[in-house]
Amino acid sequence: MYLTVLIFLIIHWYLSLFCQSFFLHRYAAHRMFKMNSFFEKFFYILTFISQGPSFLNPSAYAEMHRRHHSYSDTEKDPHSPHFHNSLSSLMKKTYSEYMSLLDENFVFKKINHTPKWTFLDRLADSWFTRITWILIYTALYLHFSNLWLALICVPIHSLMGPIHGAIVNWCGHKYGYRNFDLGDKSKNTLFLDFLMMGELYQNNHHHHPQKLNFAIRWFEKDPVYMMAKIMEKLRVIKIKESQTC
């Protein structure tokens, strides 16, 4: 039973993280590669399923993330750890920035160059859907394990997206080393990146924001970049020639 729960947690963690890094970050926010409308819908649905109650609207994510790059570690940065005393304060600020970008129907207010699927955005972001996901997780735990594991694990599954975001935004701008002397406080948090699939090479990424491979030095490895190269070979995506790899 404990092994099954652990495997479920690990699969959910990495699938949700992959969608955040591959689809929301590198595709929606940075447009590092192209894909046809079938695969765009496929990854939209995969993001909805894997993020569940913590689904992030790709357009709003992209807008917020572009602000992070433009104003990194200044007061205008939507989630710099250098303006917060705690993780929860950083997460609250990120949440309010995110919600301010959506209208009352959870549709992105502005027009930007990102993938859009209004029907799924409204469905995924509604409180009805979010609560339904939480009830599904709870039912699965109560059926396959016990109440105590449900009380510990359901909040982790339910907040998977914000937990990933908090680790990247907090650690990636506070702990680690720098390869590039930039105007911000971005760091490469190598020792934790096994949990983050390349996302914690923040200093490398801020130096080359359009570079698909976040790893630079020989000992740095970026798993999502490697997966993107495989998907290019399988003709799922087309990596843009203009960006340096």
Candidate ranges 12-20, 123-131, 133-141, 194-202; the one touching Zn ion (CB under 5 A): 194-202
Residue number, 94 or 202, with CB nearest to Zn ion: 202
With a CB cutoff of 8 Å and minimum separation 6, the contacts of 94 are 64, 78, 79, 162, 165, 166, 169
Residue number, 24 or 35, with CB nearest to Zn ion: 24
For residue 188, state whether it binds Zn ion (rule: CB under 5 A).
no
Least spacing, CB of residue 226 vs Zn ion, in Å: 18
For residue 202, state whether it binds Zn ion (rule: CB under 5 A).
yes
Assigned token pair, 88: 């929860």
Rg of the chain on CA atoms, in Å? 18
Residue number, 154 or 196, with CB nearest to Zn ion: 196
| Helix H or strand E encompassing 163 | helix 160-171
Per CB under 5 A, contacts with Zn ion among 91-120 are none
User: Can you tell me the distance from the alpha carbon of 177 to that of 110, in angstroms, rounded to the nearest whole number?
Assistant: 37
Least spacing, CB of residue 155 vs Zn ion, in Å: 26
User: Can you tell me the distance from the alpha carbon of 16 to that of 112, in angstroms, rounded to the nearest whole number?
Assistant: 24
For residue 51, state whether it binds Zn ion (rule: CB under 5 A).
no
Residue number, 188 or 202, with CB nearest to Zn ion: 202
Return the SS3 of 238.
strand
Interface with Zn ion by CB under 5 A: which residues?
A: 202
